[in-house]
Amino acid sequence: MLYLFVRFLHAMLEFTVTEEDVWQTISDFQPDDQGDYYFISYNSEDTERTAEICRTLHKSIPLWYDYGIPYDSEWETVINKRIRTCRKVILFYTNGILKKKDSFVIKEYEAARFRDKEVLLVMLEEINKAQVPDNQLSFILELMKRQSVQAYGKSTEAVCSEIMRALGVKEASFTARTVTEQRTVSPVKKAVIHPNDLCPCGSGRKYKFCHGRRDIVSVMTADSLKAGDFCFFGHYPQSADGKAMPVEWQVLKTDGNKALLISRCGLDTKKYNTDRKEKLTWSQCTLRSWLNHEFLIEAFTAEEKQMLAITENINPKNPKYGTEGGRDTHDVLFLLSIDEAKKYFQNDSDRKCEATESAKMHGAYTGRYGTSCWWWLRSPGHFSNFAAFVYDDGTVHQGGLYVDCENSTVRPAIWINLGK
């Protein structure tokens, strides 16, 4: 028995990450004048998986980790110096980060934000939305806007390759390969669409009058946009075959270097909530979760996510029936409220909306004439398990639909920072 214990202890010591093996100690750099390293931020309970990845990464890029630093009054000073002088921060995420009352990882992320450091998110596991406390929702929404690498379910070599590409560093060969195993990948040439060509979306319009209009990424100031303009930003499946296409947005308002946009079409068909609970508000519904997770990830590139602003949404009572709107929320993507739908559109005709072909395939109700569709608002309806919506004729239906209605479409709204 003693022999087995000694063998176990020996194996653990062999695995233990040492300064020479993986991490670079505090003495390796002068914090004030050197920045030739990547700062590693992680939860101490995830040492094993983090170290496994970093052992491989460290063969090609310099890493810094808080090995050997006692946690005392100087710890935070040292960490802040290292973040200030690093190239970028690599943050390893697991849900365990959220369980700690005073998480070091969150502190390090906030320090990186303050220093305007780029943060690459390495997902060791998927975000468990049920475990996200209300007071850390802003932190999670901020993380979801960051460029990320999915590490769960992949080999260490595959994860390291993705990290290197995301960092913009020339990828090293992490596994031994023979010449015959190496492959040459030819660059894919992007098809050129000329202004007078028919738009590939199938609308029958010329490209210059359809999706060939301007891309919002090229618009740098609010002077370039005004309320009522249309522009393109992000991609999402919209055709009948599910092909991802540029998303067209209508500008509702500009405020300095920020602009409020809403999608021109009903992009998808979703329930406000997957089941008909007796009491439900915008803060709790599954549609809000889908918009700020699945849709956010699918629709926008890392560059585009940097332009998205977190919005504090006020969620008042239903103005006609007095149904509680729930607590105020912080969202990247959201739906308009009843008041906002009336404020930003001058009349019912302006509120009318068409569903994309993909949304129609998913069951969008397109009215009596097969054109305009219903679209959700975030405000509650007559009862707490109803949500307000806009009817196919453009009128605001304050009584609403049951939250598990399958036929209403989603018109996401976003605030973007035009100066980024």
- What domains lie within the chain, and their CATH numbers? 15-167 (3.40.50.10140), 190-420 (no CATH)
Contact between 378 and 291 (Cβ < 8 Å): no
Q: For the sheet with 244-255, list strands across it.
A: 230-237, 244-255, 258-263, 413-417, 333-334
Q: What is the distance between the alpha carbons of residues 140 and 252, in angstroms, rounded to a whole number?
A: 27
According to the model, what pLDDT value does residue 29 have?
A: 36
Show the low-confidence residues of the chain (pLDDT under 50): 1-33, 173-190, 216-220, 222
According to the model, what pLDDT value does residue 67 have?
A: 59
Residue 75: helix, strand or coil by DSSP?
Answer: helix
Beta-ladder partners of 63: 38
CA-CA-CA-CA dihedral for 148, 65, 37, 167, to nearest 10: -10
Residue 228: other Cβ atoms inside 10 A: 10
What Å distances lie between residue 121 and 109, 126, 339, 396, CA to CA?
10, 12, 37, 41
According to the model, what pLDDT value does residue 402 have?
A: 93
Residue 390: helix, strand or coil by DSSP?
Answer: strand
According to the model, what pLDDT value does residue 352 have?
A: 93
Q: What is the distance between the alpha carbons of residues 140 and 117, in angstroms, rounded to a whole number?
A: 17
Q: What is the distance between the alpha carbons of residues 139 and 137, in angstroms, rounded to a whole number?
A: 5
According to the model, what pLDDT value does residue 4 have?
A: 44
According to the model, what pLDDT value does residue 3 have?
A: 42
Q: What is the distance between the alpha carbons of residues 89 and 63, in angstroms, rounded to a whole number?
A: 10
Rg of the Cα trace of the chain?
25
According to the model, what pLDDT value does residue 80 have?
A: 82
According to the model, what pLDDT value does residue 31 have?
A: 37
